[in-house]
Structure 1
């Protein structure tokens, strides 16, 4: 018996088939091989085509089935993880009305700030656990204000994973967790936020049917099943944003447990049993996958837009013919501190941890006589690790004090320089696991379809492959403080 997981990422679609018995992946695939373009018509804007996501999802699944490592007819449930906060709008025929305004788009920041002021900071934070910011609700308000001809044709709004589920099943659903990440949810009243909907003048009918996150969100249509070589009527039994899903895939389910990821964006995600919030909304609180009216488990999320995106930019511009493993090895040739080179990796939209300011990415202190490629790539990785420390200190201010952080051995955590710098500069040990968003989505599907009796049962084979402990904390502390001083001077000048 198998489970299929789909991870709708910013860079590509990843899919995996997991054996229920071993809880391990038996086959994986990715499509496309090259990173998907982010359309940026104006500075700070970021869009992608939902129809491209759907085409890439089909190709990824067909590529997966072509491995012949499993019987596609034995897949019993499908789970979906997806890039958070994106907005997809469709008409009554389920046709897409415009490209998706995705997570790192900054155009709605001003609208969100006005909503925050109008609703009232204290009330918004208490009820929404966040400022409306440039999250999904504010993106929808931007369409209403700037594209009225599109707005008047909207039948339903959804997040990226909801859209893929719609294409698979023909049904449109959402969950409390999804609504909370769009800043549509009132945590005090456990209902759709009247404050947000009424302030923006949004139509309640735009919101899809709300279902439990671990439940059937529709069944695979016959024509889609035939196209993909799967069995019709199998359920899509799990949908989650990529960061709650990453936490699930690392078995971070209980209050006090913390996960991290360093992909296109960088995230530290801790589970809490209280409705906590940051007074400046620099970190954000959403309903975790285990949230219920009885157990209000929330996910406290620190997000840095410019992590993997910064590393990708450096690769494409300084060493386009080199692979990431080659660049990771190159970074080891430079000493701690990168000979004084400093990188601010904040060039992928407004950063929440910087109070929604946009500083742009910067490389500082270049000495033409001493700096080489190795210094550049180490400085990029150190700058990203420093941004994690900066954000983690904000989480610590708000009571989240992790004793250990779990992460998948993937993306930047494949780099020995980045992984060790992360541990050294944060002072927190890291446990590395073999995990993947698509594998997590598959296991989530098993929980939602009740193939696993409990969430805990889905992770009985979960094992640490490596533990990293601080080794150079004293050496890094003054270097980090220098970096922090540079950043704060930039913020003052903004």
Structure 2
């Protein structure tokens, strides 16, 4: 018997089927093969169509079905991971009213900063653990201020995973973790923040029913089951933002454990049992998948917008016909420090760890007689690794001191150059595992449906693939110092 996991990513939809007995993936598919477009109607804006997510999810599941490697009728539950912070709005007929304003959109920064000042820094940080920033609540405020006729038609607001669950089941719901990532949740009062709702003028009826994250969020509709070849009535029993879900997929549940990912965005995510926050809101604290009123486990999240997106840009513009694997091999031929070439990978919207500033991506120190593709692609990977170090130092300021970091063997961690540079420049060993977001979503579904009696039971066969230790930390320290100096000048 099996579990189905969907990962609603920015670049594509990935789906996997996991065997319950072995906890291993037996089939996987992705759609589309090329990265999904991010619509940027103005500088700093970023939108995607929820209808496209649903269409792509259907294609991905049908592609998985066509593999013929399992019986779709043996799938017992569905889990969903999704890109965080996106705003989806629907009317009373559950029709989407506009494209989703997604996570890397910067248009609501000023609104969020004003709310931070008026509601009060102390209250926001103490109760919501974050500045409203450009999170989901502030995105909704932008719609209210700039598209009032559309806003008045809104019946419910959702995050991307809530929307996909609605399309699968017909039910609309949310969770504490989802509301916390939108900065709607008051951790001290264990409820939706009345102060934020009143300040922005939101009606609480806009918030869907709040359900436990590991629970039945609806059952598969007859017509959807028929379309996808699945069993009618199976539950969607797990929904989580991609970064808490990535931590789950790596068996990161306990305080002090830390996960990382380097996909379209880059993230370091550490679990804490304290309701802590960064005074400048450069890193953010949300409810972890294991959060409850009795067990207040939070996830401290460092997000870098321009990681995989920076590497994709470099590939498309400097070597469009080469594969990522070839580029990684090419980067390995260049020396540490890329012969003085430096990259600031911050060209994908305002960066929270840079106090919501936008420097733009920068390629610095180009020597037309010295630098080749090898140095360019190594400098991009080094610049991304340096941005992780910069953010990790902020987390260290806030008491997060990981002894080891777990990551999936995927995306930039497939590159030996990036993986070793990450370890060398942070000084922290990395454990690499096979699981990814879609596998984590499937295992989460098993926990939520009660197929696994506990989270621990879902990871009894979790296997380490590779362990990396620092080798060149001393050589990188001066290179990182030069990079940091360039970043400070850009800021």
TM-score (norm 2): 1.00
RMSD: 0.3
Residue 181 of structure 1: aligned partner: 181
Aligned residues: 491
Residue 48 of structure 1: aligned partner: 48
SS of the equivalent of 2:464 reads coil
Residue 117 of structure 1: aligned partner: 117
Residue 18 of structure 2: aligned partner: 18
SS of the equivalent of 1:465 reads strand
Residue 424 of structure 1: aligned partner: 424
SS of the equivalent of 1:3 reads strand
Shift of residue 203 of structure 1? 1.2
Structure 2 residues not aligned, in runs of 5+: none
1:227 matches 2:245: no
SS of the equivalent of 1:428 reads coil
TM superposition outliers: structure 1 runs of 4+ over 4 Å:
none
Residue 369 of structure 2: aligned partner: 369
Q: How does 1:2-151 map to 2 (within 5 A)?
A: 2-151=2-151
Residue 454 of structure 1: aligned partner: 454
**For residues 407-426 of structure 1, what are the alpha-carbon distances to aligned partners after superposition, in whole Å with 9 as ceiling and x for unaligned?**
00000000000000000000
State the alpha-carbon separation in 1 of the partners of residues 329 and 447 from structure 2. Answer: 39
State the alpha-carbon separation in 2 of the partners of residues 323 and 203 from structure 1. Answer: 49
Shift of residue 33 of structure 1? 0.6
Q: How does 1:336-355 map to 2 (within 5 A)?
A: 336-355=336-355
Residue 394 of structure 2: aligned partner: 394
SS of the equivalent of 1:481 reads helix
Shift of residue 345 of structure 1? 0.1
Shift of residue 169 of structure 1? 0.4
Residue 319 of structure 1: aligned partner: 319
State the alpha-carbon separation in 2 of the partners of residues 196 and 317 from structure 1. Answer: 43
State the alpha-carbon separation in 1 of the partners of residues 195 and 165 from structure 2. Answer: 29
Q: How does 1:258-277 map to 2 (within 5 A)?
A: 258-277=258-277
Residue 167 of structure 1: aligned partner: 167
State the alpha-carbon separation in 2 of the partners of residues 303 and 352 from structure 1. Answer: 7
Residue 413 of structure 2: aligned partner: 413
State the alpha-carbon separation in 1 of the partners of residues 322 and 48 from structure 2. Answer: 27
SS of the equivalent of 1:275 reads coil
State the alpha-carbon separation in 2 of the partners of residues 265 and 169 from structure 1. Answer: 29
**For residues 164-195 of structure 1, what are the alpha-carbon distances to aligned partners after superposition, in whole Å with 9 as ceiling and x for unaligned?**
00000000000000000000000000000011
State the alpha-carbon separation in 1 of the partners of residues 450 and 159 from structure 2. Answer: 25
State the alpha-carbon separation in 1 of the partners of residues 341 and 433 from structure 2. Answer: 31
SS of the equivalent of 1:347 reads coil
State the alpha-carbon separation in 2 of the partners of residues 440 and 124 from structure 1. Answer: 31
1:484 matches 2:484: yes
State the alpha-carbon separation in 1 of the partners of residues 243 and 105 from structure 2. Answer: 18
State the alpha-carbon separation in 2 of the partners of residues 195 and 400 from structure 1. Answer: 29
Residue 155 of structure 2: aligned partner: 155
Shift of residue 435 of structure 1? 1.1
State the alpha-carbon separation in 2 of the partners of residues 312 and 33 from structure 1. Answer: 14
State the alpha-carbon separation in 1 of the partners of residues 196 and 71 from structure 2. Answer: 47
Q: How does 1:272-351 map to 2 (within 5 A)?
A: 272-351=272-351
**For residues 36-58 of structure 1, what are the alpha-carbon distances to aligned partners after superposition, in whole Å with 9 as ceiling and x for unaligned?**
00000000000000000000000
**For residues 202-231 of structure 1, what are the alpha-carbon distances to aligned partners after superposition, in whole Å with 9 as ceiling and x for unaligned?**
110000000000000000000000000001
State the alpha-carbon separation in 1 of the partners of residues 200 and 489 from structure 2. Answer: 35
**For residues 11-57 of structure 1, what are the alpha-carbon distances to aligned partners after superposition, in whole Å with 9 as ceiling and x for unaligned?**
00000000000000000000011100000000000000000000000
State the alpha-carbon separation in 1 of the partners of residues 63 and 206 from structure 2. Answer: 35
State the alpha-carbon separation in 2 of the partners of residues 128 and 308 from structure 1. Answer: 29
Shift of residue 489 of structure 1? 1.1
SS of the equivalent of 2:380 reads helix
State the alpha-carbon separation in 2 of the partners of residues 167 and 465 from structure 1. Answer: 36
Shift of residue 311 of structure 1? 0.1
State the alpha-carbon separation in 1 of the partners of residues 166 and 434 from structure 2. Answer: 30
State the alpha-carbon separation in 2 of the partners of residues 249 and 402 from structure 1. Answer: 18
1:201 matches 2:193: no
